[in-house]
Amino acid sequence: MRGEIGNTLNLRLDELKSLASVEIVDDLHCVEGWSVKGIRWSGVPVIKIIDLARPKPSATYAMFRCADGYSTVAPLEDLTSRQALLATRMNGETLTVEAGRPVRLIITGLYAWKYAKWVSEMEFLDHYEPGYWESRGYHPRGDVWKEERRG
Protein backbone atom coordinates (compact mmCIF):
# COMPACT_ATOMS: atom_id res chain seq x y z
CA MET A 1 0.00 0.00 0.00
CA ARG A 2 1.23 3.44 -0.81
CA GLY A 3 0.04 6.93 -1.58
CA GLU A 4 -2.00 9.23 0.66
CA ILE A 5 -1.58 7.12 3.80
CA GLY A 6 0.02 7.41 7.21
CA ASN A 7 1.33 3.84 7.28
CA THR A 8 2.99 2.42 4.17
CA LEU A 9 2.41 -1.33 4.06
CA ASN A 10 4.04 -4.13 2.17
CA LEU A 11 2.04 -7.26 3.00
CA ARG A 12 3.15 -10.66 1.77
CA LEU A 13 0.38 -13.05 0.81
CA ASP A 14 0.76 -15.08 4.03
CA GLU A 15 0.54 -11.86 6.08
CA LEU A 16 -2.59 -10.80 4.21
CA LYS A 17 -4.18 -14.22 4.77
CA SER A 18 -3.39 -14.01 8.50
CA LEU A 19 -5.66 -10.97 8.88
CA ALA A 20 -9.33 -11.46 9.80
CA SER A 21 -11.07 -13.45 7.08
CA VAL A 22 -14.76 -13.19 6.27
CA GLU A 23 -17.10 -14.75 3.73
CA ILE A 24 -19.61 -12.89 1.60
CA VAL A 25 -22.05 -14.14 -1.02
CA ASP A 26 -22.39 -11.97 -4.09
CA ASP A 27 -23.66 -12.09 -7.65
CA LEU A 28 -21.10 -11.28 -10.35
CA HIS A 29 -22.59 -9.06 -13.08
CA CYS A 30 -20.84 -8.46 -16.38
CA VAL A 31 -21.44 -5.19 -18.18
CA GLU A 32 -22.28 -7.26 -21.28
CA GLY A 33 -25.44 -8.57 -19.59
CA TRP A 34 -24.61 -11.96 -18.07
CA SER A 35 -24.44 -12.82 -14.37
CA VAL A 36 -23.25 -15.60 -12.07
CA LYS A 37 -25.44 -15.88 -8.99
CA GLY A 38 -24.42 -16.66 -5.41
CA ILE A 39 -20.64 -16.82 -5.50
CA ARG A 40 -19.11 -17.32 -2.03
CA TRP A 41 -15.98 -15.19 -1.69
CA SER A 42 -13.63 -15.45 1.31
CA GLY A 43 -10.82 -13.09 2.21
CA VAL A 44 -9.79 -9.95 4.04
CA PRO A 45 -12.24 -7.05 4.28
CA VAL A 46 -10.79 -4.03 2.49
CA ILE A 47 -11.81 -1.91 5.50
CA LYS A 48 -9.18 -3.84 7.52
CA ILE A 49 -6.49 -2.77 5.03
CA ILE A 50 -7.80 0.80 5.10
CA ASP A 51 -7.58 0.80 8.91
CA LEU A 52 -3.99 -0.48 8.80
CA ALA A 53 -2.95 2.03 6.11
CA ARG A 54 -4.50 5.02 7.94
CA PRO A 55 -5.46 7.14 4.89
CA LYS A 56 -4.84 10.86 5.12
CA PRO A 57 -7.90 13.11 4.98
CA SER A 58 -6.88 13.95 1.40
CA ALA A 59 -7.35 10.33 0.25
CA THR A 60 -10.58 9.93 -1.72
CA TYR A 61 -9.89 7.00 -4.09
CA ALA A 62 -7.98 3.73 -4.15
CA MET A 63 -6.31 2.42 -7.30
CA PHE A 64 -5.88 -1.34 -7.49
CA ARG A 65 -3.04 -2.44 -9.76
CA CYS A 66 -2.68 -6.00 -10.95
CA ALA A 67 0.15 -8.31 -11.94
CA ASP A 68 -0.93 -8.27 -15.61
CA GLY A 69 -0.95 -4.44 -15.91
CA TYR A 70 -4.71 -4.11 -15.33
CA SER A 71 -6.00 -1.48 -12.91
CA THR A 72 -9.28 -0.22 -11.54
CA VAL A 73 -10.19 2.64 -9.25
CA ALA A 74 -12.81 2.89 -6.51
CA PRO A 75 -13.93 5.74 -4.27
CA LEU A 76 -12.97 5.11 -0.65
CA GLU A 77 -16.66 5.66 0.07
CA ASP A 78 -17.50 2.46 -1.86
CA LEU A 79 -14.77 0.52 -0.09
CA THR A 80 -16.14 1.50 3.32
CA SER A 81 -19.91 1.55 2.68
CA ARG A 82 -20.23 -1.60 0.53
CA GLN A 83 -18.91 -5.06 1.25
CA ALA A 84 -15.43 -4.99 -0.23
CA LEU A 85 -13.00 -7.87 0.02
CA LEU A 86 -9.54 -8.92 -1.04
CA ALA A 87 -10.61 -12.46 -1.84
CA THR A 88 -8.30 -15.47 -1.74
CA ARG A 89 -11.03 -18.13 -1.95
CA MET A 90 -14.11 -18.69 -4.08
CA ASN A 91 -16.87 -21.20 -3.26
CA GLY A 92 -14.72 -22.76 -0.52
CA GLU A 93 -11.67 -23.33 -2.72
CA THR A 94 -8.43 -21.41 -3.19
CA LEU A 95 -8.81 -19.11 -6.19
CA THR A 96 -7.66 -20.60 -9.46
CA VAL A 97 -5.33 -18.53 -11.63
CA GLU A 98 -8.24 -17.94 -14.03
CA ALA A 99 -10.37 -16.62 -11.14
CA GLY A 100 -7.61 -14.25 -9.97
CA ARG A 101 -5.23 -16.16 -7.70
CA PRO A 102 -3.68 -15.12 -5.45
CA VAL A 103 -5.89 -12.08 -4.67
CA ARG A 104 -9.02 -10.70 -6.30
CA LEU A 105 -10.86 -7.50 -5.43
CA ILE A 106 -14.59 -7.84 -4.77
CA ILE A 107 -16.87 -4.79 -4.29
CA THR A 108 -20.50 -5.84 -3.97
CA GLY A 109 -23.01 -4.16 -6.25
CA LEU A 110 -20.45 -3.10 -8.86
CA TYR A 111 -19.87 -4.55 -12.31
CA ALA A 112 -17.26 -7.28 -12.75
CA TRP A 113 -14.65 -4.98 -14.33
CA LYS A 114 -14.20 -3.65 -10.76
CA TYR A 115 -13.49 -7.21 -9.50
CA ALA A 116 -9.81 -6.93 -10.40
CA LYS A 117 -7.86 -10.19 -10.67
CA TRP A 118 -4.25 -10.74 -9.56
CA VAL A 119 -4.20 -7.63 -7.33
CA SER A 120 -0.62 -6.72 -6.44
CA GLU A 121 -0.88 -3.13 -5.19
CA MET A 122 -3.31 -0.69 -3.64
CA GLU A 123 -2.57 3.02 -3.92
CA PHE A 124 -4.53 5.69 -2.06
CA LEU A 125 -5.13 8.76 -4.22
CA ASP A 126 -6.23 12.33 -3.52
CA HIS A 127 -7.88 12.54 -6.96
CA TYR A 128 -9.74 10.43 -9.48
CA GLU A 129 -7.50 8.58 -11.89
CA PRO A 130 -9.07 6.22 -14.44
CA GLY A 131 -8.11 2.57 -14.47
CA TYR A 132 -7.96 0.30 -17.52
CA TRP A 133 -11.66 0.22 -18.48
CA GLU A 134 -12.47 3.64 -17.06
CA SER A 135 -9.89 5.18 -19.42
CA ARG A 136 -11.74 3.44 -22.26
CA GLY A 137 -15.07 5.08 -21.49
CA TYR A 138 -16.53 2.91 -18.75
CA HIS A 139 -18.25 4.61 -15.82
CA PRO A 140 -15.98 5.68 -12.92
CA ARG A 141 -18.08 3.73 -10.36
CA GLY A 142 -19.97 0.97 -12.21
CA ASP A 143 -22.98 0.50 -9.94
CA VAL A 144 -25.01 -2.47 -11.23
CA TRP A 145 -28.36 -1.24 -9.87
CA LYS A 146 -27.95 2.20 -11.46
CA GLU A 147 -26.74 0.57 -14.71
CA GLU A 148 -23.58 2.69 -14.70
CA ARG A 149 -21.91 1.14 -17.72
CA ARG A 150 -20.48 4.00 -19.73
CA GLY A 151 -19.11 7.27 -18.34
User: pLDDT 10s per residue in the chain (151 long)?
Assistant: 889 999 988 999 999 999 989 999 999 999 999 999 999 999 999 999 999 999 999 999 999 999 999 999 999 999 998 899 999 999 999 999 999 999 999 999 999 999 999 999 999 999 999 999 999 999 999 999 999 998 6
Provide the β-strand partners of residue 65. Answer: 71, 121
- CATH 1.10.3720.10 for the 2-136 domain, yes or no: no
140 neighbors 128 (Cβ within 8 angstroms): yes
- Enumerate residues 6+ apart whose C-beta is below 8 A from 122: 1, 49, 53, 62, 63, 64, 65
Residue ranges per domain, the chain?
2-136
Backbone angles phi, psi at 8, to 5 degrees: -70, 130
Global pTM value = 0.93
> Which one, of 149, 123, 23, 2, lies nearest residue 63 by Cα?
123
